[in-house]
């Protein structure tokens, strides 16, 4: 796909930029720091990291070839310390092995649809603009939303809408789709959005925004296998994280956040027997949670950047096992006294 360089349509404002940099700073300041941007997009977060930390090496991943081309253009002046790779974020182990990088010190996930994908109408992600039903983040491979809508069995479509879109009117929406596709193939976002609106009761359409939102989200997740990739990506990122390294994850809907929360919580608690008074060596938590639950954006952030409205941010630090070992060698550590979470660092003034 041909790409004309320059700033894409719309204004790209990185979500929670200052807060992300504040949380990642201790990892970015480690000797020989490698920072992974798992969702490079247009490169806004990555550019800020490279500008403020002149010794950091960036590994930028994105499955969208168009986004990669824009990011490569934007980050050209840092080419000597960047590796921009066409890959899905769960492919991190392969990417690091090929680059000969044993560990990372900082990482950022900014999940969901990128600014480029939303602003370029022909990608088919936006229900408010007419476009071909595509929704592939990587347009070089995979099934399109058109193929899903027109080819999947009704029962499978209902499952996808319920599971990935949390759409309680899934049977009604799917019935409308099946009736329409029996007459003519559904090929445009506008036609699909119209069918969804007609299928959902009028009373339910009055609240909750555009009635097509949940179905479009479900189709996008199915087309890109987003949740399956995320299930593998977060543990892989944590496995690669060096001691004192930090990871920040921003999610925009509850299904993503549940996966992230579970993956982080598993490593932030003890694996030892719960009835012992002290922590056994090797059973303590390997992560320190840096946020209390998930952090939400401030009103000022949402006003400046409306796309931050639904974001939930979680951050962790890899516990230094050598420090942990020294503690164990000095004296038994009471499980009651052992910290599980550091309080959040003070938010910088916006």
Better pLDDT: 207 or 111: 111
Domain boundaries, the chain: 17-116+227-330, 126-225
User: Sheet of 312-318: strands edge to edge?
Assistant: 82-86, 57-62, 34-37, 104-110, 241-251, 312-318, 287-289
The number of helix segments (H) and strand segments (E) in the chain equals 15, 7
Q: What is the pLDDT of residues 218-246, one digit of tens each?
A: 999 999 999 999 999 999 999 999 999 99
Cα–Cα distance measured from residue 293 to residue 86, given in angstroms and rounded to the nearest whole number: 32
pLDDT at 124: 62
Confidence check: pLDDT of 298 > 80: yes
Query: What average pLDDT does this structure show over 70-90?
Result: 97
Q: Report the share of the chain in percent with pLDDT over 90.
A: 68
Least confident of 156-165, 286-295, 313-322: 313-322
Q: In sequence order, what are the beta bridge partners of 250?
A: 110, 313
User: Of 178-192, 226-240, 261-275, which range is least confident?
Assistant: 261-275
3-state class (DSSP) for residue 144: coil
**What CA–CA distances, in Å, run from 99 to 58, 104, 209?**
12, 12, 44
Q: What is the pLDDT of residue 270?
A: 73
- Sequence ranges of the binding site for S-adenosyl-L-methionine: 43-45, 62, 89, 110, 117
User: What is the per-residue pLDDT for 116?
Assistant: 59
Predicted confidence at residue 120, as pLDDT, reads 63
User: Which segment of 23-37, 78-92, 174-188, 293-307 scores lowest on mean pLDDT?
Assistant: 293-307
Helix crossing, 213-224 with 226-240: angle to 10°? 60
Burial class (CB in 10 A: 0-12, 13-18, 19+), 313: buried
Binding-site residues from annotation:
43-45, 62, 89, 110, 117
Q: Does the pLDDT at position 36 exceed 80?
A: yes
| CB contact at 8 A, 134 and 121 | no
CATH class as words, domain 126-225 = mainly alpha
CATH 3.20.20.70 for domain 17-116+227-330: no
**pLDDT band (50, 70, 90) for residue 117:** low
The pLDDT of residue 338 is 45
- pLDDT value of residue 343: 46
Residue 336 phi, psi dihedral angles, 5° rounding: -70, -35
Q: Which residues of 167-205 are buried (b: 16+ CB within 10 A; e: fewer)?
A: bebbbbbbbbbeebeeeeebeebebbbebbbebbeeeee
For the residues 196-220, what does the mean pLDDT come to? 87
pLDDT tens for each residue of 4-28: 344 444 446 899 999 999 999 999 9
Kindly compute the dihedral angle of the four CA atoms of residues 46, 40, 266, 317, in this order, to the nearest 10 degrees.
Answer: -10
Nearest one of 174, 67, 182, 205 to 123, comparing CA atoms = 67
Looking up tokens 């491979």 gives 141
CA pair distance 132, 205, nearest whole angstrom: 24
Residue 107 predicted with pLDDT over 50:
yes
Residue positions counted in the chain: 350
Q: C-alpha angle with apex 84: 82 to 90, nearest 5 degrees?
A: 120
What pTM was computed for the model?
0.85
Closest CA to 111 of 261, 215, 5, 1: 261
Phi-psi category of 271—alpha, beta or left, where left has phi over 0 and alpha has psi -120 to 50?
alpha
What is the predicted pLDDT for the residue at 12?
66
| 316-342 per-position pLDDT tens digit | 999 987 655 554 444 444 444 344 444
303 CB-near residues (< 8 Å, 6+ apart): none
Kind plus residue range of the DSSP H or E element containing 241: strand 241-251
pLDDT at 263: 97
Q: Where are the beta strands (DSSP E) in 9-124?
A: 34-37, 57-62, 82-86, 104-110
| Residue 25, token pair as written in the block | 């700073």
Identify the weakest region by mean pLDDT among 283-287, 302-306, 310-314: 283-287
Predicted pLDDT at 233? 98
* Residue 104 banded pLDDT, cuts 50, 70, 90: very high
205 falls in which pLDDT band (50, 70, 90)?
Answer: confident
Tokens matching residue 150: 């027109």
Name the helix (H) or strand (E) containing 98. helix 92-99
Summary mean pLDDT of the chain: 86
């Amino acid at each position: 796909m041909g790409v004309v360089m320059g700033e894409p349509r719309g204004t790209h404002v990185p979500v929670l930029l200052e807060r992300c940099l504040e949380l990642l700073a201790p990892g970015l300041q480690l000797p020989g720091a490698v920072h992974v941007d798992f969702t490079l997009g247009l490169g806004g977060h990555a550019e800020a990291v490279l500008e403020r930390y002149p010794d950091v090496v960036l590994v930028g991943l994105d499955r969208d070839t168009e986004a990669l081309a824009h990011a490569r253009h934007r980050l050209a002046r840092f080419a000597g310390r960047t590796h921009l790779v066409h890959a899905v974020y769960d492919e991190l182990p392969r990417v690091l092995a090929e680059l000969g990088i044993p560990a990372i010190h900082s990482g950022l996930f900014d999940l969901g649809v990128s600014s480029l994908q939303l602003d370029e109408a022909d990608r088919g992600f936006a229900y408010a603009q007419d476009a071909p039903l595509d929704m592939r983040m990587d347009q070089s491979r995979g099934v399109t939303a058109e193929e899903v809508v027109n080819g999947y069995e009704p029962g499978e479509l209902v499952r996808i809408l319920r599971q990935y879109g949390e759409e309680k009117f899934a049977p009604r929406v799917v019935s409308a789709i099946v009736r329409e596709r029996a007459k003519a193939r559904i090929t445009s976002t506008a036609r699909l959005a119209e069918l969804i609106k007609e299928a959902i009761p009028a009373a339910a359409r009055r609240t909750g925004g555009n009635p097509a939102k949940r179905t479009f989200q479900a189709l996008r997740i199915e087309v890109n296998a987003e949740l399956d990739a995320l299930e593998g990506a977060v543990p892989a990122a944590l496995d690669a994280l060096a001691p004192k390294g930090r990871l920040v994850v921003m999610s925009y809907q509850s299904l993503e956040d549940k996966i992230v929360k579970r993956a982080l919580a598993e490593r932030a608690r003890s694996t030892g027997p719960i009835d012992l008074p002290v922590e056994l060596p090797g059973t303590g938590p390997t992560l320190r949670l840096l946020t209390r639950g998930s952090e939400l954006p401030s009103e000022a952030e949402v006003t400046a950047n409306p796309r931050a409205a639904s974001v939930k941010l979680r951050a962790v630090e890899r516990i230094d096992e050598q420090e942990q070992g020294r503690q164990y060698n000095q004296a038994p550590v009471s499980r009651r006294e052992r910290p599980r979470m550091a309080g959040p660092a003070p938010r910088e003034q916006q």
